[in-house]
Structure 1
Amino acid sequence: MRYLLLGLLLAQMASAQNTDPFPTPPNQKGLQVQMVDDALALGIHHAGINVNLTALFDAQSKPGSGDFVFNQNYLASLDRQIKPLSDKGLLVYLIIIAYPSKNPAIDAIVLHPGHRKDYKFSVGAVNTTSGFLSAVMNLLAERWSGAHLDHGRVWGWIIGNEVNSHFLWNNMGLVPLETAASEYEKAFRIMHTAIRRHSQNSRTYLSSDHHWSSSMHNVSPQEATPGRDFLDTFARLVRERGDFDWHVAWHPYPEDLGNPRAWADKTVTHDDNSNKATFKNLEVLPKHLEHPELLFNGKPRRIILSEQGFHTLLNPEGERLQAAAYAYAWEKIQSLPTIDAFIYHRHVDHAHEGGLRLGLWRNAPNSVADPYSRKLIYELFQKAGTPAWRSAADALLPVTGLQKWVPAASE
Structure 2
Amino acid sequence: MNKKSRNTIIGSAIVVVMAILAAIVVSGVSFWNGSMNSEAAGRPVTIDSVTIQGTDVVAQVSCKSIPSSDDGNFYLFGDEVYEDGAQGKVVATAKTSKSATFTFSLNLNTEDSNLSRKFLVAVKQGGSYVQVSDEHYITNPEAVATFTSIRNDHGIKGLLADLEMEDTYELSELGLQQVIYNFDLGTVCGLTDDPAYPTIEYTYDGTTYYFNGHTVTSYDTLISQWNNMGLQVTMVILNSDDVQSPYTADLMHPDSRDGHECPGYAFNTAEEGGTKHLKAIAAFLGERYSGMTGHGQVDNWCIGNEVNARTEWYYLQSDDLDTNVNAYVKAFRIFYNGIKSMNGSANIYNSIDQEWNRKSNPGCFLSKAYLDTFNYYMNREGNINWGLSFHPYNSPLFDPYAWKGQSQYVSRNIKTPYITMQNIDVLIDYMHQADFLAPDGSVRSISLAEQGYTSSFGEDYQSASLVYSYLMAASYPDIDAFLLFRQTDNAHEMESNLALGLNNLDGSHKPAYYYYQAMGAANQQEYIDKASAIIGMDVKYLVDNRILLTRSGWSLDS
- TM-score if structure 1 supplies the norm length? 0.88
Q: For residue 387 of structure 1, what is the aligned residue in structure 2? A: 522
> Pick from 423, 430, 449: which aligns with 1:306?
449
- SS of equivalent to 1:262: coil
Q: Which has the higher strand share?
A: 2
CA spacing shift, 1:150–1:102, aligned 2, 3 Å? closer
- SS of equivalent to 2:403: helix
Which region of structure 1 is more displaced relative to structure 2, 390-399 or 52-61?
52-61
Q: Deviations along 1:146-197, whole A, 9 cap, x unmatched?
A: 6x14111110001110001111100011231111111111011000011111
CA spacing shift, 1:171–1:269, aligned 2, 3 Å? same
Quick check: 1:401 aligned with 2:536?
yes
Q: Which has the higher helix share?
A: 1
The amino acid of 2:443's aligned partner reads P
Q: Deviations along 1:347-397, whole A, 9 cap, x unmatched?
A: 111123363211111113xxxxxxx21110111111110120111122121
Quick check: 1:53 aligned with 2:185?
yes
The amino acid of 2:503's aligned partner reads W
The number of residues matched between the two structures is: 387
> Pick from 368, 379, 391: which aligns with 1:251?
391
Q: For residue 369 of structure 1, what is the aligned residue in structure 2? A: none
Q: Deviations along 1:269-307, whole A, 9 cap, x unmatched?
A: 111111111011001111001111111111111111111
> Pick from 482, 487, 491: which aligns with 1:342?
482
Quick check: 1:377 aligned with 2:512?
yes
User: What is the rounded CA distance, in whole Å, between the counterparts of 2:336 and 2:144 in structure 1?
Assistant: 19
The Cα shift of 1:218 comes to 4.2
Unaligned runs of 5+ in 2: 1-54, 56-104, 110-141, 193-200, 548-554
CA contact (8 A) 1:145 1:195 kept: no
Which region of structure 1 is more displaced relative to structure 2, 261-270 or 398-407?
398-407
Higher relative contact order (CA 8 A, sep 6+): 2
Q: For residue 501 of structure 2, what is the aligned residue in structure 1? A: 359
Q: For residue 307 of structure 2, what is the aligned residue in structure 1? A: 163
User: What is the rounded CA distance, in whole Å, between the counterparts of 1:213 and 1:84 in structure 2?
Assistant: 40
The amino acid of 2:431's aligned partner reads L
Which region of structure 1 is more displaced relative to structure 2, 259-268 or 65-74?
65-74
Unaligned runs of 5+ in 1: 365-371
The Cα shift of 1:16 comes to 6.3
Residues 193-272 of structure 1: pairs in structure 2 closer than 5 A: 193-214=337-358, 216-219=359-362, 223-266=363-406, 267-272=409-414
Q: Deviations along 1:70-100, whole A, 9 cap, x unmatched?
A: 1011111111211011123321111111122
User: What is the rounded CA distance, in whole Å, between the counterparts of 2:477 and 2:278 in structure 1?
Assistant: 34
Same amino acid, percent of matched pairs: 30
CA spacing shift, 1:50–1:305, aligned 2, 3 Å? same
The Cα shift of 1:338 comes to 0.2
User: What is the rounded CA distance, in whole Å, between the counterparts of 1:19 and 1:110 in structure 2?
Assistant: 27
The amino acid of 1:55's aligned partner reads T
CA contact (8 A) 1:397 1:405 kept: no
Q: For residue 127 of structure 1, what is the aligned residue in structure 2? A: 268
Which region of structure 1 is more displaced relative to structure 2, 74-83 or 33-42?
33-42
Structure showing greater Rg: 2
> Pick from 179, 191, 216: which aligns with 1:75?
216
The Cα shift of 1:21 comes to 4.5
Q: For residue 367 of structure 1, what is the aligned residue in structure 2? A: none
The Cα shift of 1:102 comes to 6.2
User: What is the rounded CA distance, in whole Å, between the counterparts of 2:523 and 2:202 in structure 1?
Assistant: 56
The amino acid of 1:99's aligned partner reads S
- TM-score if structure 2 supplies the norm length? 0.65
